[in-house]
Amino acid sequence: MMLSKLVIAVVSPLGTALVLGVLAWLSGLFGKRRLALVLGGMALVWLWVWSLPVPSNWLRGQLEAAYPMVPLHAVPSAPALVVLGGGISPPQRPDDAPDLGAAADRIWYAAQLYHAGKAPLLVLSGGGDPAVSLTSEAAAMRRLLSALGVPERAMVLEEQSRNTRENARFSVALLRARGIDSMVLVTSALHMQRALGLFAAEGIQVFPAATDHEARRPAAWQIWLPDTGALDGSGRAMKEWVGSWLGR
């Protein structure tokens, strides 16, 4: 797990730029000024390209295109619906509320699907770190889903997983223990390709229900303006590509 996280960090736009910057500094330190200038220039160009809305949206769109948003009525029914963590942070203190992240659409969409009668059971998949969080991510999702009208008897928590491969392994084990062999998978469109492959590898029938689509066409004046949101989106898309390659 640590190796995969290191690889993902290095190949991200910011990670690659930092590596090139360090190499440029070392080259200058050893008197190779021309090489230092080339490496430093490469770092700046790489960082600039992936902070632009156009390439960032293109990269994210390559992952999301196969999983467009579909109307609720078009999502197939199944015995269970699995919601992957990543959209909410558990509270850190007793008086805290769960913190909703950019991918919280997953939880809201799961509530919609439940109320539309698409599945009688929701498996909420996401562990937690006791050193920093009071509960698991699955428990934080349950808290929000309860507020959205989903009864607690309809929710099962999977609280061991720390990555997508473990989401699949532990969630499918819970389903099999209940005699369930098909499910609807709810996660962000950017994440769906990798998650779907890992769940299918567990030998269960999976119907994708993607949400949280990110790829947007920027306004004309924004095309060449660097944007921190675009840089973050580029990094997360690269994480998905590398994660698929590593089977994580």
Model confidence over 191-217: pLDDT tens digits? 999 999 999 999 999 999 999 999 887
- Look at the block and give the residue holding tokens 């947007």: 216
The pLDDT tens digits of the residues spanning 6-35 come to 777 777 899 999 999 999 999 999 999 999
What is the maximal distance between C-alpha atoms in the chain? 68
Q: Identify the three-state secondary structure at position 81.
A: strand
| Tens digit of each residue's pLDDT (9 = 90 or more) over 40-89 | 999 999 999 999 999 999 999 999 999 999 999 999 999 999 999 998 99
What was the pLDDT predicted at 235?
A: 92
CATH class of 72-211: alpha beta
Dihedral (CA of 61, 195, 124, 3) sign: negative
Q: Taking the model in full, what pTM does it have?
A: 0.89
Rama region for 208: left / alpha / beta (φ>0; ψ in -120 to 50; rest): beta
Tell me the one-letter amino acid at 52. Answer: L
Residues forming a β-bridge with 207: 184
Residues 6+ apart with CB under 8 A from 27: 33, 35, 36, 39
Domain with CATH 3.40.50.620 in the chain: 72-211
